[in-house]
Amino acid sequence: MAKIIRIPSVFVYDTKVVGVSKDNQDGSSRQEIIKQEVREDDKLSLEAEPDNPYDANAIKVLSKEGNQIGYLNKEMAETILPALKNEAEIHVTAKWVNGEKMLGVGLRIELVS
């Protein structure tokens, strides 16, 4: 009898964090957090924000220290939210984006099912 081995499938999305030029609700500067806490290939985390007054599907992007550096864009949040709610295995990796006036963070998001 043949043994069935399940190989996980991986969906990979490359995107960037939006809202990096804004301050957080506590007044902390996302730009300062990025400067101090985010390095290339850092593992970042995602957190749903269902009480967001602008978008009930909003997903915050957090540094490895747990400080908010921005959000996923609307389309990516809608794609990722079901997996996040179902506690799927999600790997989020920082990809450095260094602009002239502003620091940005690109993301590689891997959904493992």
Closest CA to 69 of 32, 111, 15: 32
Contact 87, 81 (CB under 8 A): no
Q: What is the tens place of the pLDDT at every residue in 80-101? A: 999 999 888 888 988 866 655 6
15 band by pLDDT with thresholds 50, 70 and 90: very high
pLDDT at 28: 97
Q: Which residues contact 71 (CB under 8 A, 6 or more apart)?
A: 17, 18, 19, 49, 58, 59, 60, 61, 77
Distance, CA of 33 to CA of 13 (rounded, Å): 24
